Amino acid sequence: MYAPAIFDDRLMTNWLDDLFGKPISAMNRMANPMRTDIVEKDGNYVMTIDMPGFKKEDIKAELKDGILTVSAGSDEVKEEKDETGKVIYSERHTGKYSRSYGVGKHLTEADIKASYENGVLTLEFPTEASKPEEPKRMIAIR
């Protein structure tokens, strides 16, 4: 059965936005968290992950058995009071997000460079395993 546009999933968000004049950031973030782009550049993969609203200290990246797992968590409490101190609006959100990527067993933590700026986590790592430098071997002269 066809449902009119008034019943789409944005009805409640739009109504609350109109009532309180602010977007509900938790609902907006949940729509599609951790959008990821991966490009190859100069023999490296550059992965950018959208993580708006998170602080750098709330983000963790872990490499284990060729799987890179990026996770983030946040606790958010918003409360607005009127002139007399009565609460007129209160909202709580606790969210944990995690996403895993197969990056290959050839990588070590030292191969991955990470930075976080303006809500975007950037990870850069080589496309292929770097060859370990062979130790010098002395040749016996007879």
Enter the pTM of the model: 0.61
Look at residue 136 and tell me if it is in a domain: no
Look at residue 19 and tell me if it is in a domain: no
pLDDT digits (tens, 9 = 90+) for 45-101: 999 999 988 889 999 999 999 899 999 987 777 888 888 888 777 887 777 889 999
pLDDT digits (tens, 9 = 90+) for 125-136: 998 866 666 676
Residue 22: pLDDT band (50, 70, 90) is very low
pLDDT at residue 6 greater than cutoff 70: no
Domain harbouring 55, CATH code = 2.60.40.790
Look at residue 44 and tell me if it is in a domain: yes
69: part of which helix (H) or strand (E)? strand 67-81
- Residue 13 CB neighbour total at 10 angstroms: 15
Number of alpha carbons in the 13 Å side-chain half-sphere of residue 106: 9
Integer Cα distance of 53 and 61 in angstroms: 17
Look at residue 38 and tell me if it is in a domain: yes
pLDDT of residue 27: 46
Look at residue 101 and tell me if it is in a domain: yes
Q: What is the mean pLDDT of the chain?
A: 77
